[in-house]
Amino acid sequence: MKREVIRVEPLSTYLERWKAPTSAVTRHGDTIYVSGFPPFDPATGEVVNAPIERQTELVMETGRARVVQGGRMSAFGPKQT
């Protein structure tokens, strides 16, 4: 099986701007791998300096977007560990 790197915009562009040596989502067969992300501001792509509750919301929102883009969203939402 060949691995497939999946771009998730605008998150993949944010990673490139930060010169992060990773991809947002990689698929290998029936499994997807999502990279951890900092709390990016969706409007600017900058890392948010906010209370931990807001940072957590942003990280969970981008995590969901990466799983959906990767094509493995279940009816109950992604399992994030």
Asked if omega into 78 is within 30° of 0 (cis), the reply is no
Which pLDDT value is given to residue 75?
40
pLDDT bin (cut points 50, 70, 90) of residue 77 is low
CA 17 to mean position of chain CA atoms? 15
Q: CA-CA distance, 25 to 22, in Å (whole number)? A: 9
What pTM, to 2 d.p., does this model score?
0.66
**Radius of gyration of the chain, Cα coordinates, nearest whole angstrom:** 13
Domain residue spans in the chain?
A: 3-70
Which pLDDT value is given to residue 48?
92
Q: Where are the alpha helices (DSSP H) in the chain?
A: 11-17, 52-70
Q: What angle do CA 19, 44, 23 make, to 5 degrees?
A: 35
Task: Decide: 74 and 32 in contact? Cβ < 8 Å.
Answer: no
Residues 19-75: pLDDT tens digits? 888 888 888 888 888 888 889 888 888 999 999 999 999 998 888 877 777 775 554
